[in-house]
């Protein structure tokens, strides 16, 4: 959920003071880029999984406050709505059995959370957009008890001069809705992957992540339905972008970006300062090298591949990239297959020089991403040599071998490489990811969102990968 703040009421002086601190911290970050003051550790991976609390009718259950007290784990935290939570794992250096270690830890936390939910008469489900959620569920009355969230809602609406947010998505069907707060964001839940990078290769890895995003979202798509409308294969992408809306200068705060980066990722933080008005001017009396204001401001810009500043165990500032394109679900094992595919593919693209000298234009990478979000594994993609390839062919013939080579470069255990990338291969070969399974189920059984969600949950809890699910 990001760093909590202590109040949601701000004065003009708060904005002025915060701006001064933000500028000073951005300048200080530039100095660390120049003098080698950032951590040189790399290939450290982390995972955040967002999930829904649901009742006996598979409808959102707004009880995360009592749920979190009962769970009692610092690795489980609230999300924007009272029916969402986030599960975390301890980051691991991506080598050896790291994938299995991360999976086992997430399974343990998932089991704890599900057992806790069931003791409270509820259950837990990981899915990009819950088919049973209604627009009427997404109101401030169901906002988590957090000053940060209250302040974000107030400041985003203030920046829009009180104008409501409009969601207009044209997919297989068309949805047009007006919302008077930011709670639509709560309908979009994800699996967020973190990858620590050195300053020297930060721009290269970032560019590789942009290129990889289309294949990753195509193979992992799991959000075809929103508010009982059949939209994109990964409807979470346009929904989240429109749930925040553009600021007064037209800059979208949820964005794929505007260019490949050269040199370093410092320019992303400089763009934050130049393009995105301050939303949360919560000032603290920290030293510059804690980057408290820079990190808080960066948390209000939701790039699909978002550079972050964090800290090593010894306190040294580090850089990492947060990959936000993957929806939650369908199973934990599917989630780790998606993670292995992303981490391996990014490593291979970077090692092949694709990140330093991208073989496609940024506009082509962006086109690939939105085509993949809209059509999933049925899309075509502009390949690295200029050809237009069916996505499934590109994944099977090119991206999967590259991902395997990237994981081998990281010295990931061969058994884990075969297991997790084998799931991606089988999912691609038969064309069944979470989105296509949901649509196939509806085609056979009819559009009953409660029954769809219940059947999805039954299969999710079997831990059978989605490509093997029957309908």
In whole angstroms, give the CA distance from residue 14 to residue 163. Answer: 24
Closest residue by Cα to residue 86 from 62, 61, 68: 68
Domain residues for the domain of 418 are 12-41+145-179+197-321+332-462
Provide the domain count of the chain.
1
Average pLDDT, the chain: 95
Asked whether residue 122 is assigned to any structural domain, the reply reads no
User: Token digits for 94?
Assistant: 């991506």
In whole angstroms, give the CA distance from residue 198 to residue 205. Answer: 9
User: Token digits for 24?
Assistant: 């000073």
Asked whether residue 225 is assigned to any structural domain, the reply reads yes
pLDDT for residue 8: 66
In whole angstroms, give the CA distance from residue 365 to residue 303. Answer: 15
pLDDT for residue 277: 92
- The residue ranking higher by pLDDT, 153 or 375, is 375
CB neighbours of residue 174 within 10 Å: 10
Asked whether residue 80 is assigned to any structural domain, the reply reads no
The vertex-451 CA angle with 449 and 457, nearest 5°, equals 100
pLDDT band at 1 (very low <50, low <70, confident <90, very high): very low
**pLDDT of 80-127, one tens digit each?**
999 999 999 999 999 999 999 999 999 999 999 999 999 999 999 999
Residue 78 · residue 147 · CB < 8 Å: no
Asked whether residue 65 is assigned to any structural domain, the reply reads no
**pLDDT of 329-386, one tens digit each?**
999 999 999 999 999 999 999 999 988 899 999 999 999 999 999 999 999 999 888 8
Flag whether pLDDT at 79 surpasses 90: yes
**pLDDT of 9-62, one tens digit each?**
889 999 999 999 999 999 999 999 999 999 999 999 999 999 999 999 999 999
Least confident range from 4-8, 143-147, 329-333, 423-427: namely: 4-8
pLDDT for residue 280: 93
Cα Rg of the chain (Å, integer):
21
pLDDT for residue 316: 97
In whole angstroms, give the CA distance from residue 199 to residue 320. Answer: 9
In whole angstroms, give the CA distance from residue 276 to residue 322. Answer: 19
269-279: average pLDDT: 95
pLDDT for residue 164: 85
Residue with tokens 């994800």: 190
* Residue 417, domain CATH: 3.30.590
Closest residue by Cα to residue 290 from 316, 320, 313: 316
**pLDDT of 214-268, one tens digit each?**
999 999 999 999 999 999 999 999 999 998 876 556 678 999 999 999 989 999 9
Asked whether residue 279 is assigned to any structural domain, the reply reads yes
**pLDDT of 380-432, one tens digit each?**
999 888 899 999 999 999 999 999 999 999 999 999 999 999 999 999 999 99
**pLDDT of 290-311, one tens digit each?**
999 999 999 999 999 999 999 9
In whole angstroms, give the CA distance from residue 418 to residue 130. Answer: 31
Asked whether residue 101 is assigned to any structural domain, the reply reads no
Asked whether residue 384 is assigned to any structural domain, the reply reads yes
pLDDT for residue 179: 87
Asked whether residue 238 is assigned to any structural domain, the reply reads yes
In whole angstroms, give the CA distance from residue 373 to residue 304. Answer: 12
pLDDT for residue 162: 73
């Amino acid at each position: 959920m990001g760093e909590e703040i202590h109040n949601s009421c701000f004065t003009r002086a708060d904005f002025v003071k915060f701006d001064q601190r933000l500028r000073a911290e951005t300048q200080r970050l530039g100095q660390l880029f120049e003098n080698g003051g950032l951590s040189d550790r790399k290939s450290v991976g982390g995972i955040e999984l967002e999930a829904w609390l649901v009742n006996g009718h598979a409808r959102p259950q707004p009880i995360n406050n009592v749920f979190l007290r009962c769970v009692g784990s610092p690795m489980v935290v609230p999300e924007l709505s009272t029916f969402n939570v986030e599960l975390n794992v301890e980051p691991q250096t991506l080598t050896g059995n790291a994938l299995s270690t991360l999976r086992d830890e997430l399974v343990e936390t998932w089991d704890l959370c599900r057992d806790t939910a069931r003791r409270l008469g509820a259950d837990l489900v990981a899915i990009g957009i819950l088919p049973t959620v209604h627009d009427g569920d997404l109101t401030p009355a169901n906002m988590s008890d957090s000053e940060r969230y209250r302040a974000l809602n107030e400041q985003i609406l203030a920046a829009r001069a009180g104008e409501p947010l409009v969601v207009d998505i044209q997919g297989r069907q068309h949805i047009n809705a007006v919302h008077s707060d930011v709670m639509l964001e709560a309908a979009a839940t994800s699996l967020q992957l973190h990858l620590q990078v050195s300053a020297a290769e930060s721009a290269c890895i970032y560019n590789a992540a942009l290129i990889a995003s289309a294949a990753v979202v195509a193979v992992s798509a799991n959000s075809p339905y929103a508010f009982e409308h059949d939209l994109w294969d990964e409807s979470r992408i346009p929904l989240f972008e429109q749930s925040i809306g553009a600021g007064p200068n037209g800059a979208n705060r949820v964005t794929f970006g505007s260019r490949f980066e050269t040199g370093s990722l410092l320019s992303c933080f400089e763009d934050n300062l130049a393009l995105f008005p301050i939303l949360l001017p919560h000032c603290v009396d920290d030293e510059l090298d804690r980057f408290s204001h820079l990190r808080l401001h960066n948390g209000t810009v939701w790039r699909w591949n978002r550079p972050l500043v964090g800290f090593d165990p010894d306190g040294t500032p580090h850089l990492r990239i947060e990959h936000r394109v993957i929806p939650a679900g369908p199973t934990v094992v599917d989630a780790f297959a998606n993670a292995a595919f992303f981490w391996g593919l990014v490593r291979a693209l970077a090692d092949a020089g694709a990140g330093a000298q991208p073989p496609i234009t940024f506009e082509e990478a962006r086109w690939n991403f939105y085509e993949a979000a809209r059509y999933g594994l049925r899309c075509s993609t502009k390949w690295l040599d200029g050809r237009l390839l069916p996505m499934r062919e590109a994944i099977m013939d090119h991206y999967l071998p590259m991902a395997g080579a990237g994981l081998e470069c990281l010295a990931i255990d061969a058994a884990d490489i075969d297991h997790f990338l084998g799931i991606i291969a089988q999912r691609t070969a038969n064309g069944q990811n979470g989105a296509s399974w949901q649509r196939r189920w509806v085609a056979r059984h009819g559009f009953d969102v409660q029954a769809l969600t219940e059947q999805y949950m039954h299969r999710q809890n079997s831990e059978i990968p989605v490509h093997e699910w029957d309908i």
